[in-house]
């Protein structure tokens, strides 16, 4: 913990939904939910209007629709979010070179590492800096608001930014940190999730003040050494974690959520193989190789499992990654059905370990020389594990994104830029408006209308990438 409030935490308010409301004037002031819109979707962000109806992040879209049927349900435009996020991060880097983004909409800034404070870190100075930052963010993003918390540690800054959302600003004066924390529920402390909270609740610990009364030994006995000692310190606002500047991508991954559960093992294998192939394609395009292969599986009951394995050396070989991903997915019992599958590679490096047998070609290669990844099934694999061409169409059905996802940017040759209002039954309905036009008219077209295309054409409009399942 520092003597001065020099750690800033910025959190963009209802970020994805706010970007949608900015770019879709007819949705301003109305409930907006961004997330998976299919039968299996989960809410990523709900606008404050939708939160009033009890819609929350991570809730299933089905439940959200039940609570707030009249909200606009949009599937998300990540390019637009990334663009807005980049503008905000740029503002943060003007304050200090030490910026630690946590996600697209959240970051820590170490003000002490920059010259924005000009040497004086009293509450009045940091408040003025934060006020200016909020105004700048609002201006460069054309209307997004952020909540800012400033304190003497990451813990305090993050808690402070959450105190007066949306559009809030809280600076916690040095010396008042513990008074601030004491009345708060223990779940406010990072790392105290439902499981830890439940264990603490059984001992009558509900607030930070309750936990503060526990001895370090008691917490260690309850939660284990690392977690127990960490919590002992955090409830005393004792947090020395430094702000760590952004590092380059640590992993590359592909994930698909399916409209209906995938039950057949053969289909799971085929999907994983396809994802592994895609991940390796991205890895290679980035000129990288990786050591750790991870498979993520969300089962029919929403339980999410990850399995990973680390190679002794980095690889960019599709056969190796496919074989590992398949072995990993076999460690999970997927017989009950799979709603989400993902394959990722981490431990990235700019080199690969070459194979001694590679130079010899197929001769002398111990059974790894096949060009077809399907042939390299695990040695004990049954022949049915290899996908056949007739599966290809089924795989498409599982993974091809909707051509006109709700909320996507589109352009029509006669009507200009707009967004998909709804689609189905061979038709697509578009509202022709952009962030600068004000609310616009709605028109319906055949979904194969040659005049209609994805993305915006006008200057300044965010554009969507072609449909991708990644």
Task: List residues binding other proteins (CB under 8 A).
Answer: 247-248, 287-289, 291, 312-314, 316, 323, 327, 347-357, 359-360, 364-368, 378-379
CB of 290 to other proteins, least distance (A): 8
Quote the DSSP letter at residue 46.
Answer: E
Q: Which is nearer to other proteins, 378 or 465 (CB)?
A: 378
Q: Which is nearer to other proteins, 133 or 325 (CB)?
A: 325
CB of 368 to other proteins, least distance (A): 7
Q: Which two tokens stand for residue 294?
A: 């991870």
Q: Which is nearer to other proteins, 189 or 288 (CB)?
A: 288
Rounded Cα gap, residues 297 and 304, in angstroms: 6
Rounded Cα gap, residues 220 and 173, in angstroms: 31
Phi and psi at residue 60, to the nearest 5°: -70, 145
DSSP line for 159-181 = HHHTTT-SS-EEEPPTT-HHHHH
CB of 243 to other proteins, least distance (A): 17
Alpha-carbon distances, residue 418 vs 24, 26, 140, 143, 222 (angstroms): 8, 11, 22, 19, 55
Q: Which is nearer to other proteins, 260 or 310 (CB)?
A: 310
CB of 221 to other proteins, least distance (A): 27
Rounded Cα gap, residues 34 and 257, in angstroms: 15
CB of 240 to other proteins, least distance (A): 21
Rounded Cα gap, residues 212 and 214, in angstroms: 5
Measured in residues, the chain has a length of 470
DSSP line for 67-80 = H-TTSEEE---HHH
Alpha-carbon distances, residue 254 vs 280, 281, 297, 317, 337 (angstroms): 10, 11, 12, 17, 19
Rounded Cα gap, residues 102 and 246, in angstroms: 9
Q: Which is nearer to other proteins, 148 or 348 (CB)?
A: 348
CB of 138 to other proteins, least distance (A): 33
As annotated, the active-site residues are 106
Q: Which is nearer to other proteins, 365 or 449 (CB)?
A: 365
CB of 355 to other proteins, least distance (A): 5
Rounded Cα gap, residues 237 and 175, in angstroms: 10
Q: Which is nearer to other proteins, 175 or 312 (CB)?
A: 312
Cβ neighbours for 186, distance < 8 A, ≥ 6 positions apart:
192, 197, 200, 205, 206, 207, 208, 210, 211, 235
Residues 407/399, Cβ–Cβ less than 8 Å: no
DSSP, collapsed to helix, strand or coil, labels residue 293 as: strand
């Amino acid at each position: 913990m520092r003597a001065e409030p020099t750690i800033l935490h910025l959190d963009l308010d209802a970020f994805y939904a706010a970007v949608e409301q900015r770019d879709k004037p007819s949705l301003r002031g109305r409930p907006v939910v961004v997330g998976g819109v299919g039968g299996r979707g989960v809410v990523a962000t709900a606008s404050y209007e939708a939160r009033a109806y009890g819609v929350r992040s991570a809730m299933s879209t089905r439940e959200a629709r039940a609570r707030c049927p009249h909200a606009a349900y949009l599937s998300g435009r990540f390019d637009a979010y990334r663009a807005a996020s980049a503008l905000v991060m740029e503002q943060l880097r003007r304050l200090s070179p030490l910026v630690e983004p946590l996600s697209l909409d959240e970051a820590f800034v170490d003000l002490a590492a920059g010259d924005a404070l000009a040497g004086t870190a009293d509450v009045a100075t940091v408040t003025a800096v934060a006020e200016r930052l909020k105004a700048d963010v609002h201006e460069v993003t054309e209307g997004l608001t952020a909540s800012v918390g400033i304190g003497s540690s990451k813990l305090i800054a993050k808690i402070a930014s959450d105190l007066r959302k949306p559009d809030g600003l809280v600076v916690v004066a040095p010396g008042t940190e513990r008074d601030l924390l004491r009345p708060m529920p223990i779940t406010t402390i990072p790392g105290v999730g439902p499981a830890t909270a439940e264990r603490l609740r059984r001992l009558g610990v509900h607030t930070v003040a309750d936990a503060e009364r526990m001895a370090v030994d008691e917490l260690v006995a309850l939660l284990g050494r690392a977690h127990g000692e960490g919590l002992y310190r955090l409830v005393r606002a004792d947090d020395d974690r430094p702000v760590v500047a952004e590092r380059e991508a640590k992993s590359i991954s592909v994930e698909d959520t399916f409209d209906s559960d995938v039950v057949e093992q053969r289909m799971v294998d085929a999907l994983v193989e396809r994802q592994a192939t895609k991940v390796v394609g991205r890895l290679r395009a980035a000129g990288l190789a990786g050591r750790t292969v991870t498979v993520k599986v969300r089962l029919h009951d929403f339980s999410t499992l990850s399995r990973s394995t680390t190679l002794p050396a980095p690889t960019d070989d599709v056969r190796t990654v496919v074989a590992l991903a398949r072995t990993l997915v076999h460690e999970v019992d997927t017989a009950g059905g799979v709603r989400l599958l993902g394959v990722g590679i981490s431990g990235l490096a700019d080199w690969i370990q070459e194979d001694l047998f590679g130079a010899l070609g197929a001769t002398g290669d111990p059974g790894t020389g096949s060009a077809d990844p399907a042939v390299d099934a695990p040695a004990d694999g049954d022949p049915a594990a290899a996908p056949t061409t007739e599966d290809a169409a089924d795989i498409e059905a599982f993974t091809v994104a909707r051509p006109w996802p709700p909320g996507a940017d589109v352009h029509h040759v006669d009507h200009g830029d707009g967004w998909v209002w709804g689609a189905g039954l061979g038709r697509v309905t578009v509202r022709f408006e952009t962030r600068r036009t004000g609310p616009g008219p709605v028109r319906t077209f055949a979904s194969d209308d040659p005049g209609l295309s994805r993305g915006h054409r006008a200057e300044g409009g965010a554009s969507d990438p072609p449909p991708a399942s990644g």
